[in-house]
Amino acid sequence: MVELFIADIMSKVTDRRAQVLVLQEKEGLRKIIVALGFIETQAIVFAMRGVNPGRPLTHDLFGSLTSAFGIELQYVLIDGINDGTFHAKLHYVRGDEVQDIDSRTSDAIAIALRAGVPVYIEDELLNRMCIRDEMNGAISIPITAADEETLRTAMDNAVKAENYELAMKLKEEIDSRHTTDNEKHE
């Protein structure tokens, strides 16, 4: 497991104007990006800045509830990716009992920040999904980390630029997701 920290929060370049969280390994330069919704962005920014919203946010309530019942969050582990979405587990302990609870990664990070516990990622997953900073300030991501809308836009742009090799790779990624989805329903 590799420990991560929040390197940045920035706007995602799509029509939805979502936010992305840039997580970087604590002892290196590899980074991943995690898409955030408005509520998770707010919870993460509040936790980073030590803002008390007056009334508890959902993530605060969750932490208060687990604490009230003697359940301790020890860490968050980002342990997989499916269709461009990272998956995470909250690692809880209560006495001798250990429980890993599935969570959206953005929620898990918001909860971890409020609880003051580390966020980890499987090393192999970080190797496979890490991003690079390009010279012009843009960030490139592996195609497996992009959502389908972003893939389709990139494919259209590749065709317009007559970069057919890239367009074919993007189409193969889109098709593989649909094949996987169809296999799941059989």
pLDDT tens per residue across span 109-157: 999 999 999 999 999 999 888 875 544 444 556 666 677 777 787 788 7
- Specify the pLDDT at position 69: 94
Q: Which CATH superfamily hosts domain 2-132? A: Bifunctional nuclease domain (3.10.690.10)
Give percent above pLDDT 70 in the chain: 83
Q: What are the extents of the domains in the chain?
A: 2-132, 147-185
User: Which single residue is written with the structure tokens 């003051």?
Assistant: 116
Mean pLDDT confidence for 40-69: 87
- Specify the pLDDT at position 135: 42
Buried b (16+ CB within 10 A) or exposed e, 47-67: beeeeeeeeebebbebbeebe
DSSP codes joined into one string, 35-61: EE-HHHHHHHHHHHHT---SS--HHHH
End-to-end CA distance of the chain: 35
List all residues 6 or more positions away from 76 whose beta carbon is below 8 Å from its beta carbon. Answer: 88, 89, 90, 91, 103, 108, 109, 111, 112, 117, 118, 119, 120
Tokens for 100, please give them. 């890993």
Q: Nearest-CA neighbor of 84 among 154, 134, 7?
A: 154
Q: What angle is formed at CA 47 by the lines to CA 21 and CA 57, rounded to 5 degrees?
A: 105
pTM: predicted TM-score of the whole model, two decimal places: 0.71
